[in-house]
Amino acid sequence: MAGSTVRADGGAVVPAVVAVLLGLATVVVLWRLYRSGTRGAPLALMGIGAAAAVVGAALVVADPFGTAGAMTVLAVVGGPAVYLVGNLLAVRADTGRVSRSRIGALAGLAVVALIGVVLPALVLAALAFAVLLLLALGAAGWFKPPSINVRD
């Protein structure tokens, strides 16, 4: 693994630090999307997805500039996807509705997965994080159009 050796000038340290920070940020965003009160199968899927995301972060740290192999893509993109499926099921159980934003994020992750095998692992992790960050920001209300009062 070419990116895993630390050179005397510290050149491989920066990509590893960036990979660790991306992995941590991914888990934080997944935590932000968590619905309290989730039990059963949705919670199990969310736990499995979060654990796979951590494994993906470790694979990225091991070789940040190497082309992501199938296992790296599976962990980096598949982990958050499994988490979102669990989250989608939890939202459906709580509200009876299917979250379009989660489905959109799953579609975004699918696109990232399709191109992931030709990308460096660090770029793959950054794209997967970007999809999750956009979802979290949307869930927090950052992308809602302003309301217009037409009764005035």
* pLDDT range class, residue 9, cuts 50, 70, 90: low
Q: Where are the domains of the chain?
A: 10-138
- Please check whether residue 56 is in contact with residue 76, taking contact to mean a CB–CB distance below 8 angstroms: yes
User: How far is 76 from 60, CA to CA, in rounded Å?
Assistant: 8
Question: Which has the closest alpha carbon to 129: 20, 3, 23?
Answer: 23
- Summarised one tens digit per residue, pLDDT across range 38-59 is 788 898 999 999 999 999 999 9
> Can you tell me the distance from the alpha carbon of 80 to that of 27, in angstroms, rounded to the nearest whole number?
9
Name 114's Cβ contacts closer than 8 Å, sequence gap at least 6.
none
As a whole number, mean pLDDT of residues 124-152 equals 83
Residue with tokens 């996807």: 81
Q: Tell me the pTM.
A: 0.82
pLDDT value, residue 147: 61
Choose the weakest-confidence range: 66-75, 84-93, 136-145. Answer: 136-145
- pLDDT the model gives residue 150: 66
3-state secondary structure of 51: helix
124 has pLDDT over 50: yes
